[in-house]
Amino acid sequence: MTNSVVDIPGYQGRAFRLERGRSFRVVDVEGCQIADMFVISNDDKDEVFSPAMTRQVIFRLTPRPGDFLYSNRRCPMLTFLNDNSPGCHDMAFAPCDPDFYVDLGADSSHPNCRDNFYKAIGELDLNMEPPPDPFNLFQNTVPKADGDFAVGKTLSKAGDYVEFRAEMAVIVVVTACSADVPIDGIDPVGGLSTNLRIEIA
């Protein structure tokens, strides 16, 4: 695979295969955009990125540059190389789905990361049920001492990125989160899902 760019419009997702040793950046093109990132082994789709296993191994809520992202079989899938964003990321939330938006007063046909995951892997002639849990890049949901989450507006600016290296052959799916409705009075992505860009090196 040569160096390439994958553009992800707002409210959509894209999937790509990555050989071991290749690296990629997830770029927030316009700023204030959450990116749900799913990782699947290219050799066995039952092996997927596991937030729970990653937390157990690194012993913190989210990885930092220098940490591995681990699979459900405790194998390193990605190395977190660089982060030039404010560093707010999330590994607690499942991808948004139709019922998430119904609960917030929107219609069940609202675009969502779960359906966008299905569409993206379908382009690779794959199917999975249910989706694996994502690493929610740039998502500003901070746990409080009482166990609740403080929901904040996404802090990343235009051009901010995170960078990873594949430690095995993987399929990566990234969706531009559709959370354009207020949550606890906060607009997480500023009221509009906007573009992301994947830069593969």
Q: What is the mean pLDDT of residues 189-194?
A: 98
26-59 pLDDT per residue, tens: 999 999 999 999 999 999 999 999 999 999 999 9
Please count the structural domains in the chain.
Answer: 1
Residue 77: in which H helix or E strand, if any?
A: strand 76-83
- Per residue in 75-113, is it b (16+ CB within 10 Å) or e — as a string? ebbbbbeebebeebbbbbbbbbbbebbeeeebeeebbbb
* Structural domain harbouring 129: 4-200
Read off the tokens for 113.
């990361």
Q: What is the mean pLDDT of residues 124-143?
A: 96
